[in-house]
Amino acid sequence: MMSMPQTETTLLDEERYRLLVDAITDYAIYMLDPTGRIASWNPGAQRFKGYEAPEILGEHFSRFYTEEDKLIHLPELALRTAATEGRFENEGWRVRKDGTRFWAHVIIDPIWDRSGQLLGFAKVTRDLSERKNAEAEIKRNRDQFEILVQGVMDYALYMLDPNGYVSNWNAGAERIKGYRADEIVGKHFSQFYTEEDRANGEPAKSLETALREGRMEKEGWRQRKDGTRFFAHVVLDAIRNDKGEIIGFAKVTRDITEKVEAQKALAKAREDLFQSQKLEAIGQLTGGIAHDFNNLLMAILGSLEMLRKRMPDDPALTPLLENAIQGGERGAALTQRMLAFSRRQELNIKAIDLGDLVRGMMDFLQRSLGSSARIETRIPPYNAVVVTDPLQLETALLNLVVNARDALAGEGTITIGIDEHDVTAEGGFLKPGRYIQFSVADTGEGMDVETVNQATTPFFTTKGVGKGTGLGLSMVQGLTEQSGGKLHIDSKKGQGTTVSLFLPRAEEGVIPAEEEPVHQPNSDAPPKTLNVLAVDDDALVLMNTTLMLEDLGHRVTEAYSGTEALDLLHGNEIEFDLVITDHSMPKITGSELASEIARHWPHLPVILATGYAELPPGGDAKLPRLPKPFSQAQLQDIVAAVIGTRTLNK
């Protein structure tokens, strides 16, 4: 085979090389002479830079550089570096024919002849604008994300390495946890946990859960730099690379202390509202029951009293009668407690010195307790004057002392104390003001928190069946609140109990009221026999009232309603000296009947008998009142007082 001449082979290789270079459009491949002027130009160069070969050949390659690069002589530096070091490689902005810029990767290689003479340079340029834009977009997104993360103040957002060490820190984390980034980055995240949680291994458990399930979410107490605690909602996410290898954890923490406290406050408000509604319903119920019960007791006690007066003295029967009367009187005391609880028991308000009240009751209290319990008092030298109902306060004190005795379950000490308090700030269970603390403390078994919370609940009792009604403390609470104060119980299991009545201190200069003298009828005594109109819709009560009045020597006309009473008064057949009427009657109440009588017969006295011991709004508070159940002696006293006053006013 005949071989080609060397010259033809060389020409063929050059042609192939030219075709190869011209076929490449993704790279600008061209030659520079030793001074940097363009000696060749391929289609890729034309596509990148926008110049056609005729208009760019012979021009200096520096025109592709930006003005900024020209000022620092970067084109000259590129050629000098290529000539001295054998290669120049760089990335930077380049300029197209139309003036737009593109990001280019540039390689310049020197070309030498066989003798080592520099013939020029080979220049390869690649347009990396798309990559540059993508990198810029990534950086922009990263910067925006960093700004976002650092701008979040309500959440602690930070990263942990695979071992749980903090690797970055946002401003929200600094605000919530109190650490600056330079104080906490590189430290283990377990220091945010409470000592109890660290002892239980909670930090490690959190990482294990996130590794196993990809996510851990929990609420619990966390600790700030200053040692204070906050209630946190925590999310911990495991972060893995494309190969599934763990590279760290993303941790988000939110302080929800205020939210939790608000939820607790809302729950308590709802519970208080429910309790208030329940107590109001019970109060209305007990008030109505007490009224009806008083009528029944009126019939029972009145009949027993009249029976005792008329029955011969029989040793076999008298104890039974006395026992029945005592049972009725205990029922009457129970209704008074129910009325006090339901706030339907009117207070006979007076100024009273608590020290005098305690000293006056000491003998009675000690006898009530027996020999097992010892009473001590802590009475201050100053006058502790409050404004309340003395009789009900005495009953309240007796209730508290008896409860204290029962709590002792044997020997022990009961202390009755009187102290003064000035409350100046809002927020406690007392409004600002001056208070007298009237307390009864025992050294008994005490109560747990649940029992303390239920202690004033109506009908709640820790005593055995038949030993307590569960209304004692409710009655005391009712009296205290009607007097403008608050009842407070301080007790712990095994440490005794103190029940305190915080009563507003009377204003300076208020003097305790002295006992009013019992009314004595005027010497100009009224006629022995009176014409009395007795009005009551309950036949049993009306019969007893009539029997009591007739037994006292009076003539009685009965009416079963207010309407019937007015008809009798308008009939003028009998000139009445007195009207005794029940208050709670259908159609016309006792107070409405009294108003009609005052209009038409202004000199006719009216006594209002009621099982509530309270008039509704709009009732005449000046009417003399006889609380049910009443005895014949009470009836006789009020009749004498009313008729005596009427005689004096004539």
| CATH number of the domain enclosing 636 | 3.40.50.2300
* Residues 367 and 455 occupy one common structural domain: yes
Count of domains observed in the chain: 5
Q: Would you state the pLDDT for residue 67?
A: 92
* Residues 174 and 315 occupy one common structural domain: no
* Residues 398 and 447 occupy one common structural domain: yes
The beta-carbon contacts of 453-462 under 8 Å, at least 24 apart in sequence, are 455/489, 456/487, 456/489, 458/279, 458/282, 458/286, 458/341
Q: Would you state the pLDDT for residue 618?
A: 47
Does residue 1 form part of some domain? no
* Residues 361 and 452 occupy one common structural domain: yes
Give the 3-state secondary structure of residue 354.
helix
Does residue 516 form part of some domain? no
Distance CA 574, CA 532 (A): 10
Q: Would you state the pLDDT for residue 148?
A: 54
Q: Would you state the pLDDT for residue 157?
A: 81
Q: Token digits for 391?
A: 């009789």
Strands 625-627 and 606-610: parallel
Positive or negative torsion for Cα 35, 40, 45, 51: positive
- Evaluate whether 105 touches 125 at the Cβ level (below 8 Å): yes
CATH of the domain at 213: 3.30.450.20
* Residues 19 and 112 occupy one common structural domain: yes
- Candidates 406, 410, 413, 412; CA nearest to 462 is 406
* Residues 554 and 642 occupy one common structural domain: yes
Distance CA 79, CA 215 (A): 57
Does residue 374 form part of some domain? yes
Tally of CB atoms within 10 A around 621: 10
Positive or negative torsion for Cα 343, 346, 350, 355: negative
Distance CA 294, CA 287 (A): 10
Strands (E), 373-530: 373-378, 385-388, 412-423, 433-442, 486-491, 497-504
Give the position of tokens 């037994």. 551
Strands 101-112 and 118-127: antiparallel
Q: Would you state the pLDDT for residue 364?
A: 74
Strand partners, 502: 437, 486
CATH of the domain at 368: 3.30.565.10
- Residues lower than pLDDT 70 in the chain: 1-25, 134, 136-139, 141-153, 272, 275-291, 330, 332-348, 368, 370-371, 409-410, 425-428, 454-472, 509-527, 611-621, 645-650
Does residue 589 form part of some domain? yes
* Residues 102 and 37 occupy one common structural domain: yes
Which phi and psi (to 5°) does residue 495 adopt? Answer: -125, 15
The beta-carbon contacts of 23-26 under 8 Å, at least 24 apart in sequence, are 26/126, 26/127
* Residues 377 and 484 occupy one common structural domain: yes
Does residue 188 form part of some domain? yes
Strand partners, 165: 188
* Residues 377 and 467 occupy one common structural domain: yes
Does residue 509 form part of some domain? no
Q: Would you state the pLDDT for residue 461?
A: 56
Give the 3-state secondary structure of residue 364.
helix
Does residue 536 form part of some domain? yes
Domain boundary residue among 97, 129, 161? 129
Distance CA 169, CA 172 (A): 8
Residue numbers of the domain that contains 232: 152-255
Distance CA 263, CA 270 (A): 10
* Residues 373 and 471 occupy one common structural domain: yes
Distance CA 527, CA 523 (A): 12
- Evaluate whether 504 touches 431 at the Cβ level (below 8 Å): no
* Residues 360 and 495 occupy one common structural domain: yes
Does residue 123 form part of some domain? yes
- The per-type count for the chain, helices as H runs and strands as E runs, is 20, 20
Per this entry, what is the length of the chain?
650
Domain boundary residue among 488, 504, 520? 504
Q: Would you state the pLDDT for residue 306?
A: 79
Alpha helix ranges (H) inside 528-604: 539-551, 562-571, 590-600
* Residues 333 and 355 occupy one common structural domain: no
